[in-house]
Amino acid sequence: MKIEALSLSDLNRFPLALNLLAEEQGIFLNPTLLSLWEKIYRWKLFALTDGQALFVGLVKSTLLGRMLYSLPFGWYGGFQGSISEEFMHQVLSRFEAERFLEVRIVQFTEVPFLGSVNHYQSRAMTTYLLDLSSPPHYSSNTIRNLRKARAHSLVVKMLTDEHLRHFLYLKNDHEKRTGEKRKVRPEFYRELFNVSLAKDAGIEIYGALSGDELFGCQIYFINAASVFYFDGFSSPAGLETCANFLLTDHVIRSAERRNLRSLNFGSSPVGDVGLERYKSGWGAKSVTYQEYYQLSRFKKIIDRWRGRR
């Protein structure tokens, strides 16, 4: 078996990659999204294939060495397609030859995938998945807040780059009020707005407005099978009027009209009961999947020196 490396432009032409883009687990393999990691962060695509299976990741270069992530920030890329033991062995051997400081592979499967591979540790990750194959069951609290939002006559519309300034204001205000800091850079959000209206971009940004005032906004990634919630913010007035409920309901109804199979709400910070209640209030169920990781001896020393476990 021979494996070959693929560039970002190859992914656009590669039939297997295009087919995987239509599947739920391939939602982050969108070439538009992958290009943003290269443009904003200078992280390089690391893709290998044997024609039947595909591995997609990104390489982050630092002064100390290079690190490989199936995709940044816990997004799942990793192994896709018809994966044979031989293909997996060759790809993992390639990782060894590249001498990465750290390798992290997130696989969106509940069944252990790399558990038997030497030198890899694993940890469970969770997300909230809403099955759209049947009408969603909203909780009584969700229904009540939807009524509250509709009583304020907010309008939901697709946002464009002309709303970017208002979006960034909401983001900055949210971080000041809550102390939370987003992992991605402001430039990443700007580029999302720039590319979101392009045909087949797979990025949709919605806002809840009253006149010209933006009360709340949510960003989604979408393909032919599913929708993934990426991020969102509300103003104090938006929180009071439950604008986020109106936005989520709009996206669910839109996904149903397009016959999509699922809406992935993403993970929640440990102990954030309110956020977990919000997601489950739409009928979403908790789903567990796995991250596999391997640290070089040098990286372990660095982590201990920095006080990391």
Highest mean pLDDT among 7-11, 79-83, 250-254: 250-254
Range of the domain at 245: 134-260
Mean pLDDT, rounded, for 262-267: 92
Whether residue 33 contacts residue 202, with contact meaning beta carbons closer than 8 Å, is answered with: yes
Mean pLDDT, rounded, for 269-290: 87
**How far apart, in whole angstroms, are the C-alpha atoms of residue 263 and residue 19?**
19
User: What confidence score (pLDDT) does residue 8 get?
Assistant: 83
Of 218, 214, 242, 217, nearest to 228 (Cα)?
218
User: What confidence score (pLDDT) does residue 135 get?
Assistant: 86
Indicate if the pLDDT at residue 22 is higher than 80: no
Q: What are phi and psi of 289, to 5 degrees?
A: -145, -175
Residue ending a domain, choose from 223, 242, 260: 260
Indicate if the pLDDT at residue 112 is higher than 70: no
How many other β-carbons are positioned within 10 Å of the β-carbon of residue 152?
A: 16
Indicate if the pLDDT at residue 48 is higher than 70: yes
Within this chain, do residues 175 and 195 fall inside the same structural domain, yes or no?
yes
User: What confidence score (pLDDT) does residue 71 get?
Assistant: 87
Q: Which two tokens stand for residue 16?
A: 């297997």
Residue 161 lies in a domain: yes
User: What confidence score (pLDDT) does residue 270 get?
Assistant: 67
Name the residue with tokens 């990793």.
78
**Which residues on adjacent β-strands are paired with residue 54?**
49, 80
Within this chain, do residues 187 and 112 fall inside the same structural domain, yes or no?
no
Residue 22 lies in a domain: yes
* Interior/surface letters 158-179, b for 16+ CB within 10 angstroms, e for the rest: ebeeebbebbeebbeebeeeee
Q: What is the mean pLDDT of the chain?
A: 88
Indicate if the pLDDT at residue 278 is higher than 90: yes
Helices (H), 209-267: 236-240, 243-257
Q: What are the pLDDT digits (tens) for 174-196?
A: 999 988 888 889 999 999 999 99
User: What confidence score (pLDDT) does residue 27 get?
Assistant: 85
Indicate if the pLDDT at residue 11 is higher than 80: no
The secondary structure of residue 197, as a DSSP letter, is T
Assign residue 253 the CATH number of its domain.
3.40.630.30
Task: Identify the residue with better confidence: 206 or 1.
Answer: 206
**How far apart, in whole angstroms, are the C-alpha atoms of residue 281 and residue 260?**
20
Within this chain, do residues 156 and 181 fall inside the same structural domain, yes or no?
yes
Judged by average pLDDT, the poorest of 62-66, 124-128, 298-302 is 298-302
Indicate if the pLDDT at residue 20 is higher than 80: no
User: How confident is residue 21, by pLDDT bands cut at 50, 70 and 90?
Assistant: low
Backbone region of residue 59 per phi and psi (left: phi > 0; alpha: psi in -120 to 50; beta: other values): beta
User: What confidence score (pLDDT) does residue 265 get?
Assistant: 94
User: What confidence score (pLDDT) does residue 198 get?
Assistant: 84
What is the number of domains present in the chain? 2
Task: Identify the residue with better confidence: 29 or 40.
Answer: 40
Within this chain, do residues 66 and 140 fall inside the same structural domain, yes or no?
no
Percent of the chain with pLDDT over 90: 51
Within this chain, do residues 19 and 93 fall inside the same structural domain, yes or no?
yes
Residue 15 lies in a domain: yes
User: What confidence score (pLDDT) does residue 118 get?
Assistant: 62
Mean pLDDT, rounded, for 238-262: 96
Mean pLDDT, rounded, for 240-255: 96
Of 247, 242, 243, nearest to 265 (Cα)?
247
Within this chain, do residues 120 and 149 fall inside the same structural domain, yes or no?
no
Q: What are phi and psi of 149, to 5 degrees?
A: -65, -45
